[in-house]
A and B are shown apart, each in its own frame.
Chain A
Amino acid sequence: MAKDTAPRWDRRMQQRLARGEAAALGELYDRFAALVHSQAHRMLDDEDAADLVTREVFAQVWENPEAYDPKQGSMRSWVARLTHRRSVQRLRHAAASRYETEHGEGAVPDPEELERRVRSATSAARADYIVSSMPVPLREALELAYIHRRDYRQTAADLGVTEDEARRRLRLGLQLLSTASARPLEGSAPPGYGRVR
């Protein structure tokens, strides 16, 4: 949303964190904890692991607030990238240790299979992020059509817009969402999280 990607809020938050303001960390948590936790949960499908990633991400932000570069995008997208990176690490680690448990010490899971899992988890988490960041009119239209199972004419009526507009919103929303499955380059942030370094 425009108001929370406002660069002013981001820069001020960064300064306050750098200054060591505990209250700023609390505010950062209040704003982003649900994002971080649900992204991690979507990636890892495990409550404890998501808790752990949440702790790691906030610790990383708190210890290195200067690592945030406002020119690279909003603080929100930065936090989402950190979350993604931590979750991928944890996913790989968990898969490797589970495989070792099942197949004996030193056994390594099929790297391709692992990459597939990382990719599909990434797409799922990125899609969540995209839906949460898309303009509200698009999100509302998708919600009506997908969750409430309204056809586009009913969607138009519910939203008080023309049928043209309802069709346009559904198509645009899905177009945005479809960028979630774009295959990320190795080691870089996926496009859904803002500009790639």
Chain B
Amino acid sequence: MSAKSTVVLPGDEIPASSLPKSPNKNRPLTLGPGLRHIPPNTIATTVAGALATDSRKNAAWIEYNSGRYLPITGDLVIATVQTSAAESFNCHITPNTPFATLPHLAFEGVTRKTRPQLTFNSLVYARILNAGKDTSPEITCANPSTGKSEGLGPLKGGMVFKISLGMARRLLAGRKGGVTVLDGLSEKVGFEVAIGRNGVLWVDGGSVKTTLAVGRAVQEVDEQALGEKGQKKVVERVLKNL
């Protein structure tokens, strides 16, 4: 995407010329966050941000990086267990929002007898199973079709760091996100991370020092919007101090 992006305000109508044109006529246009369809043919924005399009997927969405996280089906999140009900745990994806339910049996290899005991305020890495606006979100720690955890489950130890929603998206986007700091650090030190789209980064580096160094490095890259060179410098500095 070019540096010059189209800035939109809520209520702006997106002209057809700005929408992606898919070579495949059968592929319907997909509207992502920040856009809504007003029948018959109007596409209007609902948030302030930059218009982004993907002609291969025939999708358009608005990129923005402020505000509270809104649950979207398929997102990976780090949730906090609040209470345990008869069949499920009630979790918070972000504080002060309605509970998300996490069934007791939504973990890998769990039976009624061996269901996990999660206490108040413990963390789980989970995927959002469904998040319609009319129901409370449901999350799971196992792939419902295979029953495998695929890396999800309760998070033990480590520390969580708050990052911006945009940073979380970038970290999960792989190379496109342009975050190299974790790769750089992992060449010299070993650590585990889990990234939640709700703006939470969990790091376990084995020791307090390593964990803190990794977490803070990511936060620094986030806050100062560092590019590749800047991130390299951070990596060098962090490694020297370790």
Do chains A and B interact in one complex? no
